[in-house]
């Protein structure tokens, strides 16, 4: 998120204001690559979710929440509520955290 100080600084710059329709419409949680692709600029997500030290790590939960927030932001920005299918995880009682990423991510998005 952009701090209020930064937003106020942008609002005060007369050269920028005409180029921006409304600051509340700007969304910096994701970056569109083209009309059907976006990235969330989370370079270490794979390592934090699937790496050797991912199990029982606070980084795992933080990464999952960050990804869920960013994906939910994409949905809100597009004013869409898409149907997303995830591969079914194995039995949650015996599965590793990394095997439950799709289920946990889906749950975090809709919470």
pLDDT at 27: 63
Please tell me the predicted confidence (pLDDT) of residue 97.
Answer: 67
Q: How confident is the model at residue 32 (pLDDT cuts 50, 70, 90)?
A: confident
**Could you state, in order of their start, the residue ranges of all structural domains in the chain?**
30-110
Give the H or E element holding residue 31.
Answer: strand 31-34
Beta bridge partners of 32: 38
Task: Name the pLDDT band for 96 (thresholds 50, 70, 90).
Answer: low
- The four Cα atoms 26, 28, 30, 34 give a dihedral, to 10 degrees, of 50
pLDDT at 69 exceeding the cut of 80: yes
Q: How far apart are CA 91 and CA 100, in angstroms?
A: 9
Residue with the larger pLDDT of the pair 41 and 25: 41
Q: What is the pLDDT of residues 51-68, one digit of tens each?
A: 877 766 788 888 888 888
């Amino acid at each position: 998120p952009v701090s209020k100080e930064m937003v106020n600084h942008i609002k005060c710059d007369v050269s920028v204001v005409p180029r921006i329709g409304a600051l509340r419409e700007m969304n910096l949680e994701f970056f569109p690559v083209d009309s059907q692709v976006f990235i969330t600029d989370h370079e270490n997500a794979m390592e934090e979710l699937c790496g050797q030290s991912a199990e029982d790590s606070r980084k795992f939960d933080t990464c999952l929440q960050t990804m869920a927030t960013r994906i939910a932001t994409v949905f809100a920005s597009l004013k869409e509520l898409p149907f997303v299918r995830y591969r079914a995880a194995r039995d949650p009682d015996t599965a590793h955290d990394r095997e439950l990423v799709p289920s946990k991510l889906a749950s975090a998005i809709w919470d």
